[in-house]
Amino acid sequence: MKLAFTLEYDGTDFSGFQSQKNSITIQDHIERAIEKITNTKTRINYSGRTDAGVHALSQVFDFDTEIQREEENWIKGINANLPKTIAVRKVFNVPDDFDSRFSAVERRYSYIIYNSKNKPLFFDTFSYWVTNNLEINIIKNQLNMFLGHHDFSSFRSSSCNSKNPNKNISYVDVKTIDSFIIITIAANAFLQNMVRIMVGTIIDIAKNEKNMTIEDIIKKKDRTFAGKTAPAKGLFFLGPKYKDELNIDTFEMNIFDRLKK
């Protein structure tokens, strides 16, 4: 039997999702929590490897088990053994060939910018504070240039080890709520730091600190032409998308409303 779970976490105090030597990660906490309620060492699959400081609203992980428990008991049991900044939300029965990573057809992220002269006192760990006035129309125009299939070599970290820089951006959106600017991007997959570099570059263009367009920078296929990497704390993994027949509900479309709950 295979189970899949949706998971949310505040990534502030963790060294990313994926298990690492000599670091505290979210995967380690989950696997220890599962072991405590099953008495079995378990290795999970997961849909996205978020970096240190990045948050998630609907990360997905799965594992095989022969243990029969009520869905509510799975959720309560795992959550009882997790720190308060990590929480399982839902559980799904999935086919044996399901894999959280490889079965995903799309992944979606939102980035939160707090655009104000005033400090974001209650949202500092969940947003990037930019005091320069950012023109929304510029952000929208530049963001739309990412749509489609491109070589994103200009928007990958120097340590990215992906063999294929070509990704397909299927959806972009920007919304404003009071002083918050929320940029959302969906793709089949992302390179390391890709969303943060995309957002950082748009911010640099909107601040008139870069005299190139996103289209120009994509064509360069060179990281040195893109802008700064935006801080991890403003980035949220909204979750992956799977084929409809799997019936796994992940995306949190209104991220600001979710944060206020």
pLDDT at 23: 84
Q: Are residues 62 and 156 in the same domain?
A: no
> Full-prediction pTM beyond 0.75?
yes
**What is the C-alpha to C-alpha distance for residues 110 and 231, in angstroms, rounded to an integer?**
13
Q: What is the CATH number of the domain that holds 99?
A: 3.30.70.580
Q: How confident is the model at residue 122 (pLDDT cuts 50, 70, 90)?
A: confident
What pLDDT is recorded for position 161? 83
Does residue 144 share a domain with residue 58? Answer: no
Question: What is the phi/psi pair of residue 255, to 5°?
Answer: -65, -35
pLDDT for residue 259: 54
Residue with token string 């963790």: 14
Beta strands (DSSP E) in 11-127 are 45-46, 55-64, 86-94, 106-115
The reply to whether 134 and 11 lie within a common domain is no
For residue 115, give the CATH number of its domain.
3.30.70.660
Helix (H) or strand (E) holding 45: strand 45-46
Domain-located, residue 254 = no
Residue recorded with tokens 């997905």: 60
Distance of CA 235 to the CA centre of its chain: 6
- Please give the positions annotated as active site: 51
DSSP for residue 24: -
Residues 136 and 170 both lie in one domain: yes
**Is 10 inside a domain boundary?**
yes
Judge contact between 139 and 202, C-beta under 8 A.
Answer: yes
Residues 154 and 234 reside in one and the same domain: yes
Closest of 189, 197, 191, 186 to residue 234, by C-alpha = 197
What pLDDT was estimated at residue 261? 53
Q: pLDDT at position 54, please?
A: 96
Structural domains counted in the chain: 2
61 forms beta bridges with 5, 46
Residues written for the chain = 261
Same domain as 93, residue 115: no
Domain carrying residue 163:
106-238
Radius of gyration of the chain (CA): 19
Same domain, 144 and 158: yes
